[in-house]
């Protein structure tokens, strides 16, 4: 993850995490240096209000099919980063309607565009 130090031992996340759970963009976390010099996460100290979802795109998906499902999410303020051609980390900003985002993610899954999972939700998502 990309982060900037905001105080000694405190870092603000500057990207949407691909593999970590329970953290999101703009969260401030506490970390310490491990024996190898790498930062080791300890805990979230301040939430940034963002939520994170992961999409795994179906292999056969065309860019037009992806865009058709992605555009409503983008209109809600969501953005994504691509780890490879199939794995996307989706950032849902604090101002977005998380319930509407969740329904759109479910629709994309039902339509066979992607599979998705919740990594961290700042607001409770509706039960399906």
Are 7 and 65 members of one domain? no
Residue 16 backbone dihedrals phi, psi, to 5 degrees: -85, 120
Number of independent structural domains in the chain: 2
Q: What is the DSSP string of 5-71?
A: EEETTEEEE-S--SS-SS--TT-EEEEEE-TTS-EEEEEEEE--S-EEEEEEE-TT--HHHHHHHHH
Q: Are residues 37 and 60 in the same domain?
A: no
pLDDT digit string, tens, across residues 84-122:
778 999 999 999 999 999 999 999 999 999 999 999 999
Answer yes or no: do 106 and 93 share one domain.
yes
Q: Judge whether 30 lies within some domain.
A: yes
Judged against a pLDDT cut of 60, whether residue 58 lies above it is answered with: yes
Query: pTM for the whole thing?
Result: 0.88
Mean predicted confidence (pLDDT) in 63-91: 92
Check whether residue 12 and residue 38 sit in a common domain.
Answer: yes
CATH, residue 76: 3.30.70.330
> What average pLDDT does the segment 29-49 reach?
93
Range of the domain at 80: 51-120
3-class DSSP assignment, residue 96: coil
Spatial distance between the Cα atoms of 33 and 1, rounded to a whole number of angstroms: 15
Query: Is the same domain home to 36 and 64?
Result: no
Same domain, 55 and 116: yes
The pLDDT, as a whole number, for residue 124 is 63
Q: Indicate the average pLDDT of the chain.
A: 91
DSSP per-residue string spanning 60-79: T--HHHHHHHHHHHHHTT-E
């Amino acid at each position: 993850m990309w982060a900037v130090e905001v105080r000694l031992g405190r870092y603000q996340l500057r990207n949407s995490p691909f593999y970590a759970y329970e953290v999101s963009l703009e969260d401030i976390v506490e970390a310490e240096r491990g024996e190898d010099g790498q930062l080791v996460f300890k805990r979230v100290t301040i939430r940034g209000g963002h939520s994170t979802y992961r999409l795994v795109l179906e292999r056969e998906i065309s860019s037009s099919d992806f865009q058709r499902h992605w555009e409503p999410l983008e209109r809600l303020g969501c953005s994504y980063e691509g780890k490879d051609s199939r794995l996307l980390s989706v950032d849902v900003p604090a101002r977005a309607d998380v319930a509407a985002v969740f329904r759109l993610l479910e629709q994309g899954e039902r339509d066979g565009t992607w599979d998705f999972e919740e990594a961290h939700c700042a607001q409770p998502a509706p039960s399906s």
